[in-house]
Amino acid sequence: MDEILDGTTQIDCDILIIGGGTAGPMAAIKAKRKNPNANVVLLDKANVKRSGAISMGMDGLNNSVIPGYATPEQYTKEITIANDGIVDQKAVYRYAEECYSIIEELDQFGIRFQKDQNGEYDVKKVHHIGTYVLPMPNGDTVKKALYRQLRKARINVVNRYMATRLLTGEGRIAGAICVNTRTAEFLVVRAKAVIMSLGAAGRLGLPSSGYLYGTYENASNSGEGYSMAYHAGAGLANLECFQINPLIKDYNGPACAYVAGPMGGYTSNAQGERFIECDYWSGQMMQEFYDELQGGKGPVYLKLNHLAEETVAEIERVLHIVERPTRGHFHKGRGTDYRKDMIEMHISEIGFCSGHSASGVFVDERARTTIEGLYAAGDMANVPHNYMLGAFTNGAFAGLDAVDFVKDVDFAEFDMAEVDAERTRVLAPTKRDDGVPPNQIEYKTRRFVNDYLQPPKVTAKMELAQRRFEEVRNDMENQMYVRDSHELMRSLEASAIMDCADMAAAASLYRTESRWGLYHNRVEYERDDENWFCHTILTKGDDGKPAHAKKAVDDYIVEVDDDEKDAYNNQRVTKTVAAE
């Protein structure tokens, strides 16, 4: 295994789905059910059995809109406010209307959701205004349940192939170029439609541990989706709205206030005091976290040690089995006992991810990108705060729309020279006898991301970042050296990470205002609704560098009253007279 072989195969399909984590499998299942004759290929860099952000499961649905608890109108309004108004509500509203049917479907797959004594869904309040969090007591079974459905639907699964570039022709999508991660053999897939579900750009910033793979996101989610969409000419929206999360320090996984919050846990400062009213992750919440640290009241902790034994035991049961089970090992190694100790938190490295923020490939309410026949769903598509249930639901939208789209089209012609050029680019590091290994290229890129792009954002620093990135890119293109096909995969990831770093700097420089709390805190600029109440769309310019445009926010379908707009900006706890 891992030797570099020569060879190219071509296959044809109706719909190619790239990424078999969460959105991808649901897109495949929905498309195949709607048209059992459609040839659907699900491709993954890893193995769909355990790939993607929910590799080991998920502890709950963070954004379920369940009749009796919340309405699509309430949810749409909440997300609009949480995302500082920059939301195309149509996509959020459609999600909110249809996600309940997806929950019922997941329930039929065998994924259980928490119910109360009356058999009703036991939904918890974590957001600032509404009630949307539904625990999943056996959330560790999600991937297995999905895999059973893929088998049942007879989806063609192609594991261990990494897509490196999309193919376009006749002004629409034509397929993708892929490379085997264990043999370096090429696979050209001609497809009438392509659905991208490649997850977040999670290996963009460097975790403070210095370990390249100690990221918040599954480290295999290294941003190829963003990079491929960019090179194909698709628009990417609001990339400056970084993902930054409050995490367990060093472990760099979620502290899980969403699990602990409804049971009485909360985020506290070093004095054990609450300083934010709401633990739901938003830009302003992260800004308050940052301010608390800057104000000398840190470290910030997750506080559980005031809770009853039974409650702590239940929190442990959930957190140590589901999503990131090594969390239990971590605490044990440090001797941290939730009953006695608070859990030290820190501010994560930056990334792109619409699952938590709003940085993604631009899509409409049918998951269509700006390129005909190309779809995107899940963490990499720009429906804000869409989490796992958003990946499932928007993945379903993509699959359902794509299967209709392919009925009326044939394969688009593409230029074979593009395939040859891509082979040359991909294999260049295998043709050298000497040079810089991909892990060093990647480390240097990501260290500069931390040094210059981690908010608060400063213009001069971001301009320096662009210069440093250009130098490292030059080294990458002329000196990167790999010895086997596994290292070749890492070199391709390093290249995607470099593209994302460039985009992160360019997008952040373009929006000359501050918005989304810490996510886009540009210290030289105030929030400026007059000029910047809009999306920013980044595309690949004619000069091969990022180009920018403003795009108006669609008219709201759910109005937000003036006195509601600031709900997420006013979340610092203020002491009442009685408390003092």
User: What are the residues binding another protein (CB under 8 A)?
Assistant: 1-2, 46-47, 49-52, 55-56, 160, 181-182, 207, 209-215, 218-220, 250-252, 324-326, 329-330, 333-334, 434, 437, 486, 489-490
DSSP string, 450-513: HHHHSSSB-HHHHHHHHHHHHHHHHHHHHHB--SSHHHHHHHHHHHHHHHHHHHHHHHHHH--S
Cα angle 241-245-251, degrees, rounded to a multiple of 5: 145
C-alpha distances out from residue 309 to 114, 122, 138, 256, 332, Å: 21, 22, 22, 18, 17
- Nearest approach in angstroms of CB 250 to another protein is 5
- Of 494, 561, 519, 556, nearest to 287 (Cα)? 519
- Nearest approach in angstroms of CB 325 to another protein is 5
- Nearest approach in angstroms of CB 182 to another protein is 8
The one-letter amino acid at 442: E
Would you say 465 or 489 has its CB closer to another protein?
489
- Nearest approach in angstroms of CB 251 to another protein is 6
- Nearest approach in angstroms of CB 438 to another protein is 11
- Nearest approach in angstroms of CB 100 to another protein is 30
Calpha distance 167→162 (Å, rounded): 14
Calpha distance 106→303 (Å, rounded): 32
How is residue 519 written in tokens? 């996510």
Residues 6 or more apart whose CB falls under 8 angstroms from that of 151 comprise none
- Nearest approach in angstroms of CB 519 to another protein is 24
User: What does residue 360 show for φ and ψ, rounded to 5 degrees?
Assistant: -165, 175
Would you say 33 or 486 has its CB closer to another protein?
486
Would you say 483 or 550 has its CB closer to another protein?
483
Kindly provide the b/e burial profile for residues 485-496, where b requires at least 16 CB atoms within 10 angstroms of the residue's own CB: bebbbbbbbbbb
Would you say 390 or 437 has its CB closer to another protein?
437
- Nearest approach in angstroms of CB 435 to another protein is 8
Would you say 91 or 247 has its CB closer to another protein?
247
Instruction: Give Rg (Cα) of the chain.
Output: 23
- Nearest approach in angstroms of CB 2 to another protein is 8
Calpha distance 158→47 (Å, rounded): 8
- Nearest approach in angstroms of CB 451 to another protein is 19
- Nearest approach in angstroms of CB 487 to another protein is 9
Would you say 135 or 202 has its CB closer to another protein?
202
DSSP string, 204-236: SSPPTT--TT--SS-TT-BSHHHHHHHHHT--E
C-alpha distances out from residue 146 to 54, 110, 259, 266, 548, Å: 11, 9, 23, 33, 38
Beta bridge partners, 572, equal 276
Contact by Cβ (8 Å): 548, 506:
yes
Would you say 326 or 474 has its CB closer to another protein?
326
Would you say 123 or 345 has its CB closer to another protein?
345
How is residue 267 written in tokens? 């985020």
- Of 408, 385, 320, nearest to 128 (Cα)? 385
Would you say 171 or 210 has its CB closer to another protein?
210
Would you say 245 or 521 has its CB closer to another protein?
245
Would you say 72 or 199 has its CB closer to another protein?
199
The one-letter amino acid at 305: N
Would you say 192 or 324 has its CB closer to another protein?
324
- Nearest approach in angstroms of CB 9 to another protein is 20
Would you say 214 or 456 has its CB closer to another protein?
214
Would you say 13 or 179 has its CB closer to another protein?
179
How is residue 469 written in tokens? 């990135």
Helices (H), 254-386: 257-260, 283-294, 309-319, 326-334
- Nearest approach in angstroms of CB 556 to another protein is 39
Calpha distance 277→573 (Å, rounded): 6
**Count of alpha carbons within 13 angstroms of residue 296, beta-carbon side:** 0
- Of 451, 379, 440, 508, nearest to 208 (Cα)? 451
User: What does residue 105 show for φ and ψ, rounded to 5 degrees?
Assistant: -70, -45
| DSSP for residue 431 | S
- Nearest approach in angstroms of CB 39 to another protein is 25
How is residue 89 written in tokens? 């509500």
